[in-house]
Every structure is written in C-alpha cells, then in structure tokens.
Amino acid sequence: MKKVLQDLSFAETENLILALGEKKFRAKQLTEGLLQGKPVSQISSLSKPLKERLLQEYEDEPVKIKETFFSSDGTEKYLFELADGHLIEGVLMKYKYGYTQCVSTQVGCRMGCKFCASTLNGLIRNLTAGEILSQILVVNALHKTDVKGEGSQARAVTNVVLMGSGEPLDNYDETLRFLKNITAADGFNMSARNISLSTCGIVPKMYKLADENVPLNLTVSLHATDDESRARTMPVAKAYKIADILKACDYYFQKTGRRYYFEYTLIAGENCDETHADALIALLKGKPCHVNLIRLNEVKERTLKALDDKAAYRFLGRLEKGGLSATLRRQIGVDIGGACGQLRASYLKENET
C-alpha cells in the first residue's frame, strides 16, 4: 500500500515538494487540490510530470465512495472503499446550521460492545490520519454547492463526529494527527469546538488527550451506572472503572474548560427503569456534563432490544427533574442502517464467498 498525502501537514507537504526539486508554491496548489477532495491525478494546477512522481509513492484516491444510501429524513450514509480494498462507513446528518459528518477511525473495532455492529468482525486495521480526513474531503466535495462560509474556507461539512467504526483512542496517534491537521489554519481549518470525539472510556488516553491542547467535545459511552452492569454490554468496563472515567473527565474539563458529554443508550430491560435514572442522577449531578440519551438501533446479530418512545421520554423527564442536563437524541437514518457498523457488516455478509 502506498503512502497517503492527506497524512501530511502543510509544512510536511512543503518539505516534500522541495525535496522533489519543485518551487514551494506547488505545495499550496497541491494542498488546495486535496482539500477540494480531488484525486492527485485531477489537480489541474500541477504539471503532469509532478503528478506522476507523486503517484509513484502516494495514493491517488485513498478513500472512495463505493455506495451512497439516502434516508427519508435527509441523512446520507456512505460505504467507503480504501485503497487496499477494505471498507469503512460514514454518515452525513443535515441540520439548519450546517452538515455534521460521522467518520470512522478504524476498519472494524476490537472493543466488543454488545450493542454495536462495528465489532462483529473484530479489528482489521487502524486508519491513517489522512484516511480519516479523506472521508470528510470527499463528502465535502460531493456537497460543494451546500457551503457555509466564503472563499477558501467555504465548507459544506461544518461539524465532525469521531463516532463511526472504531475506537478513536485505540488509534491514538493517527487520531491526534488527524485532529491537528483538520484544525490547522493552513489546512481544513475547522474549529476544535466543532469536533466531537466519542470513546468507550480508555482512561490513560483520555488524560493524554486533555494535555494535547485540542479543546474538542469529549463524549464517553457510559450506558450503565455501575461497573458490573456496564461490563455486560461493554467489555472495556473490566479494565476501566466508572469512577476512574469520571476522574479523567473532570481532568479534561480542568485542562480545556470544555464540559464533557455522556452517551447513554436505552436498552430495554437492561438500564432504563426508574432506579437506573436515579442512579445516573446520583452519579453525575453537579458535574459539568450533558447526557445524550440514545434510542438503540437494533442489530439483528444481537439480542438487545430498543426502549419504546413513551418510556424513553419518561426516563428523560426523570433525569431533568433530578437536575441533570439531558437530551433524547433524535433518531436518524434508521431506514438505511444508520448505526455504527451496520452498513459495512451488511455488505460483508451479502458478499461472502
């Protein structure tokens, strides 16, 4: 597999161009073309000999859209193909303020969460920073007429969520490199405040992230109020206790000034009666956090079942009455397999040989 140009910072791109004996301004032309989602071979401002030299070592298109699925609610889901043939997926959610894209950080996942389709086939490999970024670049190019902003900073994708296939903090170095590149003023120039990172709670990496000076929105998949219950659906709970996760979250707040978020998937018969609500209130009340309640997207390979809407709103009401800041997240893309890993898992099963 060749290298990925989108892995490089602008300074690294300049060094590459100079090493090839080209003028420095070619680095800007190359970067602008890549940020527009163009394959190297289609960047018209570069000479044919330069493109040929670049393509000897670097991928022309590290990420391609293999299939697109459209939901009745406007959500779009993409099956991406990587240069080595592996598949990942992403979701584009459309809001009045702009478009939010959910991206993958790994091919598959090794965390083993029982409610998530991403883990069904285990972890295949980590994505590079450029492969993570390229998911956004190709989708942004697809919607180039739906832009927010002006000039070189015109973007259709205004917000990014690292919540697709994979655990971002299990691919820490490449995830951090991606975050540095996408927020760079001479790169995509997205504010860190417009980026959310969802983790199952890898405590040492949470502390490390807090010290990186990338004040994004940290979101932790909680889904239970005690370690024993959490371990039934999230094997990672055997390694990292809730108390330690909360300490890491508080440290993140101290370092960044950013409140943190918890995802709590409502699973019928598992974590959503009144006693669970009261336990969640006792656990989180007074902390600088917000709870996102999520309706379970059922995975046919799993036995877990979703909670009905009436009970979900009752659970939300009890949290709010108890003093927690909480939201019941709008369910989107249900008709196109909008949950993490569902599209890839379905495609792989249908194409088994």
The catalytic site residues sit at: 89, 340
CA distance 117 to 329: 19
Angle 272-274-276 from CA coordinates, rounded to 5°: 55
Given a contact cutoff of 8 angstroms between Cβ atoms, the answer to whether 264 and 271 are in contact is yes
CA distance 276 to 281: 9
CA distance 178 to 61: 17
Q: How far is CA 193 from CA 106, 112, 177, 179, 197, in A?
A: 23, 29, 17, 11, 11
